Amino acid sequence: MTEILTLFINVFLKIFMIFTPFFVMSAFLSLTRNESQVERHRIAKKVTMAVALTCFALFLFGTYIFALFGITLDAFRIGAGAILFLSAVSMVQGKTTVSPQESQEDVAVVPLAIPITVGPGTIGALLVMGAGLETFSEKLTACFALLCAIFSVGALLLVAGRFERLLGQQGLLILTKLTGLFVSAIAAQIFFTGLKNFLS
């Protein structure tokens, strides 16, 4: 029971941070600046659904994708860790900016779900984490943790307007940079685990 709880907390926190929720919130606020509260809620729910479908497809079928392309898990760890680290550095430096949406296009799936929430680094991390699970109980626990992380990001989008009024743009920027630091640590761990196993 303790091992399952530890796995749940570990997977939940890692995936939640990899989603870069505060950057996603900033992008959501920017892209829906001219929308009503009702429309913002509709977009937030659609983003959550799109992220859930994408993430579970990657998380559950990562092993088959590796087998199809003949890629080892450790080689992918190295690549995914490097990409995720570059994304984290961009966040810390404040280079990830999103321009307000001027057209009437639906921004829920593109760009909010993909690639802002589920970008290249996130995709790599999900594939690696999913392929690294062995038993059915581990996979079930991790799937539940993934679902909770996705719903947590969705809940943040639903209350994004209140967060903006409470913290302001500067507060969200600070939280985004702090998230970037945590993501860089996760990326380094993925990279060096892959490198260590690859060389041993």
Q: Mean pLDDT for the chain?
A: 90
Give residue 103's pLDDT: 46
Q: At what angle do helices 120-131 and 160-199 cross, to 10 degrees?
A: 60
The pTM assigned to this predicted structure is 0.90
Note down the domain range covering 62.
2-96+105-199
Q: Per the structure, how many domains does the chain have?
A: 1
Tell me the average pLDDT across 172-191. 93
